[in-house]
Structure 1
Amino acid sequence: MKHEPSFREDLIFALLLVPLAIFLPINAVSTALMISSLILILIVELLNSAIEWIIDYVRPEIHPLAKRIKDMASAAVFLSYINCVVVWVIMLWPENAVWKRLGDMLSGH
């Protein structure tokens, strides 16, 4: 993946957030959903990279259809990020009392 800076950035993003998801005082299902949303970003980014590499290999010259395909693959990555944000916001929403439990845990109550 040395030729894929986007994947490396996504991997760093996931590696920073997975421990947070594990540390937060939430149930296992919520933790799994949060981590899964991060893994989905990595999967979609890999597919996006594969699509781009295939198009560049098969059709190195610029073509409107090739650009459209690449744009759609990039849009899939963007949607996976939106999915991740939505999942994390829902899991960490104040009504879920995560912040109160985290404060109690850190203060020793």
Structure 2
Amino acid sequence: MAASGHRGLTRIVKAAGYSWKGLCSTFRHEAAFRQELMACAVLFPLALWLGEGGVERALLLGSLILVLIVELLNSGLEAAIDRFGGERHALSARAKDMGSAAVLLALVHAALVWGLVLVN
């Protein structure tokens, strides 16, 4: 049995609710996520229009979704670290910097995918 006591369809519905709550919380509290979501609102339709075939569309859309995923993970990491207080600690700073670097790499990945698909 699951740790929460829920099984089957109930567990799936509860998990979907927690996921939605996480998306809403991130949207409410994280400016970077809102900015990336706005960029996706413009780029998603563009990806469907510019991509020639399913593979190109999947690459273009997937690179954008990856940026959002990494931003969600970075925001979660930062929230967990911030929970422990405002004092500066080298390990906390390192973890936050690593999360930020992951977002940067996701953005670079998206730029590379878009560049390679559109140049082709």
TM-score using structure 2 length: 0.75
Matched, 1:82 2:111: no
3-state SS of the aligned residue for 2:83? helix
Select the residue among 53, 56, 61 that pairs with 1:35: 61
Select the residue among 21, 26, 32 that pairs with 1:6: 32
Q: Taking CA–CA contacts closer than 8 Å with sequence separation of 6 or more, which of the two structures ends up with the larger relative contact order? A: 1
What is the identity, as a one-letter code, of the residue corresponding to 1:46?
A: L
Give the superposition deviation at 1:58.
2.6
Unaligned runs of 5+ in 1: 97-109
Select the residue among 67, 75, 78 that pairs with 1:52: 78
Q: CA RMSD in A?
A: 1.0
Deviation larger for 24-33 or 38-47:
24-33
Matched, 1:21 2:47: yes
Structure 1 distance, partners of 2:61, 2:86, is: 36
Q: Structure 1 runs of 4+ off > 2 angstroms?
A: none
Deviations along 1:34-86, one digit per CA (max 9) or x if unpaired, are 00000000000000000000001134321111001000000000000000000
Structure 1 distance, partners of 2:35, 2:51, is: 27
Structure 2 distance, partners of 1:80, 1:25, is: 20
TM-score using structure 1 length: 0.82
Unaligned runs of 5+ in 2: 1-26
What is the identity, as a one-letter code, of the residue corresponding to 1:88?
A: W
Deviations along 1:17-38, one digit per CA (max 9) or x if unpaired, are 0100111251111011100000
Alignment: residue pair count: 94
Contact persistence 2:70–2:106 (CA under 8 A): yes
